Amino acid sequence: MRRVLVVLFLFLACVGIAGGDSVKWRAIRTGHFIVFYSPRDLATAKRAGAIGEEWWGKISKRLGFETGVVPIYLYPDRTTFSEATGVPSNDSIVGLAHSQLHDIRVDASGAFADISRIIPHELVHVFVAEMLGDNDFLLPTWVQEGLAKYYGNDWSDADSELLADSVYSGRILPLGKISEGFPKDPNDRAIAYSESYSAIDYISRTYGESSLKELLSETKSGRAFPIAFGDSTSVDLEKFEAAWRDDLEERYRVGRWLRIAESLIWPTMALVAILAFRARLAWKRKKAQEFEEEDRLAQDPREFL
């Protein structure tokens, strides 16, 4: 009975918050989630619940923190997601986590990304928001998004390629410029996401993953981010950013030369093929001439006496 009352209360509260949604929500409950779905998407809802539970266990173990019950809204198409969240239909954003309501809203259409990638990312945001409480705003955007990609394993070959291209072309954004939000330009925003992950990954590799938990603990206490960062890593932000950029250059230097070499290989191979073709053609013409000479000699040998 208690569980039924809790589910009913959260359902009514969340539906009220959703205000304006055109979806006729139904809900299922798992251990740590209430998954809201459209009537035709029960299978997707069950899958979302399973994904959520799997990642709830992983994230809570790594962060040493447990959240309360998390509502997940699965919007069946891009239109309903856009109407409810205000995200433009042609935007690449596929999930949102509310820092105060601690709910997750997902474009479950699969048009841009699968829910198996969206839910873990947004769930990390919920964990961090609950951990930090009213001091959640103290974390820069690049840290918020970097943590979500890092703990949510939200990294792909495409992200790596984008980061490498950004390093090659000198388009890496200063962390200070992505501290209070990400660029509106889709390409620059994608770069901001990839470098945010890279920066958090560098912190973990260089100062230990425990430094990330310490950073969150320092921030929860209300300390300004530069101070919290320095205390948890023993390095100031300016030196950290310089070292992180050097690491990017070092990590992608070999790849850069390989890419340059690769860009030269195909034109070189094409040139070699053309030269080989012309050489083969010249050889055939020469042989044809020799055959003609032999035929003429065989027909009238006196001509050559």
The percent of residues above 70 in pLDDT, for the chain, comes to: 78
Q: Are 58 and 131 within one domain?
A: yes
222 DSSP 8-state letter: T
Instruction: For residue 130, give both structure tokens.
Output: 């609950």
Q: Are 117 and 53 within one domain?
A: yes
Identity at 214, one-letter amino acid code:
E
Q: Are 103 and 16 within one domain?
A: yes
Tell me the backbone φ, ψ of residue 28, rounded to 5 degrees: -125, 155
Q: Are 163 and 260 within one domain?
A: yes
Q: Are 200 and 119 within one domain?
A: no
Assign residue 224 a region (left: φ > 0; alpha: ψ between -120 and 50; beta: otherwise): beta
Question: Of 86, 113, 135, which closes a domain?
Answer: 135
Q: Are 88 and 128 within one domain?
A: yes
Question: Of 92, 113, 135, which closes a domain?
Answer: 135
CATH number at residue 55: 3.40.30.160
Q: Are 46 and 105 within one domain?
A: yes
Q: Are 189 and 254 within one domain?
A: yes
pLDDT of residue 92: 85
Which whole number is the average pLDDT over 101-106?
A: 96
Which whole number is the average pLDDT over 57-63?
A: 97
148-174: b or e for each residue (b if 16 or more CB lie within 10 Å)? bbbbbebbeeebbebbbebbeeeebbe
User: In this predicted model, what pLDDT tens digit does every residue of 262-289 receive, in sequence order?
Assistant: 555 666 666 666 766 677 766 667 766 7
Q: Are 175 and 131 within one domain?
A: no
Band (pLDDT 50/70/90 cuts) for residue 44 is very high
Please give the residue range of the domain that contains residue 207.
Answer: 139-269
- Helix 186-207 × helix 210-220 angle, to 10°: 110
Q: How far is CA 182 from CA 19, 93, 230, in A?
A: 27, 12, 24
Q: Are 265 and 278 within one domain?
A: no
- Give the containing element (helix H, strand E) for 34: strand 33-37
Cβ of 277: how many Cβ atoms within 10 Å? 10
- Of residues 196, 11, 224, the one with CA closest to residue 121: 196
Q: Is 215 exposed, middle or buried (0-12, 13-18, 19+ CB in 10 A)?
A: buried
pLDDT of residue 90: 86
pLDDT above 90 for 181 = yes
Note whether 38 and 25 are within 8 A (CB): yes
Q: How far is CA 203 from the centre of its chain?
A: 18
